[in-house]
Chain A
Amino acid sequence: MKKNIGIVVLFSVFLFLVVTQTHMDMVPVDLTNKLAPMSLEHLMGTDILGRDLYELMMVGCLRSFLVVMIAGTISLSVGVTVGILSGYFQGNISMILQFLTDFLLIIPTFIVALLATAVFGLNPVSAGIALGLCQMGHFANHAAELTREIKGKEYIAILHIMGYSRLRILFYHVLPGILPLVFPYFGSMASSNILQYASLAFIGLGSDITKPDWGTMLYQYRIYILDEPLLVLWPSLGIFLMAIIFQFLFDTRKVETS
């Protein structure tokens, strides 16, 4: 698992280094060079406005990656904290937290994200926060169940007798026990977030069409699917590869069987 996290970190550093070298804000339009074929100058060719597809793809990749990271960090950190608190304590705190997670599970993620991005504009930060907060319920539920399981074990009872404070037990002894079992779900969450973000950009409420999100690109190029299949192929391939890589990096199958 540590190796996989290392891969993700390396990839993100690489991505930042590559993308910040080129046009971060806007890829220049060159109408004299529309729909150019693949060449050394334009690695993936150019689009209907003469923008270099390779650069668009790189910026799009960075934006999707940011969404995944922001959403994942929020749902993991907040969700797990809420989960262990509601699993460890009993009574009112647990009831209120349980109530919250139940409703987070019920409200439709996509609709809330659609509204939130319409309110704050579609960018990786707003979409990431909306998606992350809505999906936090899954992590919280899972963490709460695991905490209840661990809480009954003897070594936790001994720690109580030894007079350790509750918070110390929670964050130094319970958390390390459940984190390896919760963390792999980050991967399947990540690939669903990539798809959701692409769908949000495809519908395009509050989106800025000059920003090359993969979903926005697909919306712009969708009418060329038969004449210029490469235009549609690249963003689709990007989404597909990114989702599938996250699936394989964080394999939940091993956790489920253990």
Chain B
Amino acid sequence: MMQKRGYLVRVSSFYLIIGDVMVIGKQILKWFLGFFVLSFLFFILVRTIPGDPVHRLLTTYQLPHTKENIEFLTVSFGLDKPLWYQYGYWISHFVQGDWGSSFITGRDVRMEILRRVPVSLAVGLGGVLLGGFFAFFLGYLSACKPKGFWDKFSRGLTLFIQSVPSFMIAVFLIYLLSVHFQVVKIYSDPAVAVLLAALLVALGTTGELCRVMRGHFLEIAATPYIHFARCRGFERNKLLLRDGLRPALIALISTMVGRFSWVIGGTAVVEFVFAIPGVSLFLVQSIGVKDYNIIQSYLLFILLWMGMVHVICSLFTYFLRGGVK
């Protein structure tokens, strides 16, 4: 009997693993397909931006727009080839790690993007993590006492975040801190700019997530195991933080997946206002000068980042749940 049960367990766990592998394989296939479909769409979108880089380059270096110059540059950029050939050339080299070089400055695009990523990550990831932390505790505090002070405060904060544009808060902060009181020099001290930008992102994240966290905490408070623990005389609010920590963390991570993938790209406005030399500001500048290679590579880089975030987050929730799907 015992032997048979052991055999059954082994067989069923074997099937479970097979099922997991199937699910993972499907996900990988989906991302793979999506990568190529979206890269094609992005390619078309980028190529339809009006104006062309050849004229831009000639204007930038103050060279005459002669026929020979234009022809030489068009051929050297490979822009004379048909579009499908350009796409194939670009994507096959991108996959191999050669992201091409900038049309205007001639620098290697991959180096240029990767050099700016840490700054963007400091603003975006730092802000989102900090915001998640605040949202967790604000949600907890407002679930402790519904209709209490923290509950009202979190509702006000959410409404404020949803109706005041973040760049206005930034402009106001800049003028208040560095023009009126002259406490810090934002544009000459990048560290301060990064710190302020991260705090702003944190504020936005807190505002968006704290109500969600409050809802999750209230849901947890209504579960049977909390109810029975309360019947045994434990305090509700302590229980929420001690026994409700794990489900609340899982909920927090699954709501934050979207924010994590937003980290690169979503902070464009903040980077623009604080003039932080991150990837998104780089993109805004590159769109201005029609640097095809940079824009395309940037979009695909975002896609890669999102894939990575989804993998990490699902692994994390997988382990938090104790290996249960």
Contacts and interface: CB of A to CB of B under 8 A. Distances in A.
A108 B269 CA distance: 13
A54 interface: no
A127 to B, nearest CB: 14
A247 B38 contact: no
Interface stretch (A44-52, A75-83, A155-163, A238-246): A238-246
Given A106-B306, A111-B268, A119-B48, A99 B30 contact: yes
Nearest to B287: A118
Contact of B162 (A118, A191, A256): A191
B261 A226 contact: no
A73 interface: no
B266 A119 contact: no
A63 B172 CA distance: 24
Interface string A10-46: 0000000000000000000000000000000000000
A218 interface: yes
Interface string B267-301: 01100100000001001100110000001000100
B2 interface: no
Contact of B288 (A195, A205, A256): A205
Q: B261, B287, B295: which has the most chain A beta carbons within 10 Å?
A: B287
B283 to A, nearest CB: 7
Contacts of A205: 284, 287-288
Nearest to A253: B211
DSSP class of B's interface residues: helix, strand, loop or mixed? Answer: helix
Contacts of B49: 115, 118-119
A85 interface: no
Given A203-B272, A244-B159, A115 B46 contact: yes
Interface in B136-181: 159, 162-168, 171-172, 175, 179-180
Q: Chain A interface: which size bin?
A: 35 or more
Interface in B214-270: 215, 258, 261-262, 265-266, 268-269
B167 A199 contact: yes
Nearest to B180: A226
Given A110-B268, A192-B162, A205-B288, A115 B45 contact: yes
B194 to A, nearest CB: 19
25 contacts: A99-B33, A102-B34, A103-B37, A111-B268, A111-B280, A114-B268, A114-B283, A115-B45, A115-B49, A118-B287, A119-B45, A188-B162, A191-B163, A192-B162, A195-B162, A195-B163, A199-B165, A199-B269, A202-B272, A215-B165, A218-B171, A236-B164, A239-B168, A244-B163, A247-B162
Given A119-B48, A199-B165, 20 more contacts: A105-B258, A106-B306, A107-B303, A108-B265, A110-B266, A110-B269, A111-B266, A111-B268, A114-B287, A115-B295, A119-B50, A203-B272, A205-B284, A205-B288, A218-B165, A218-B171, A226-B175, A232-B171, A239-B165, A247-B163
Interface of A: 99, 102-103, 105-108, 110-111, 114-116, 118-119, 188, 191-192, 195, 198-199, 202-203, 205, 215, 218, 222, 225-226, 232, 236, 239-240, 243-244, 247, 256
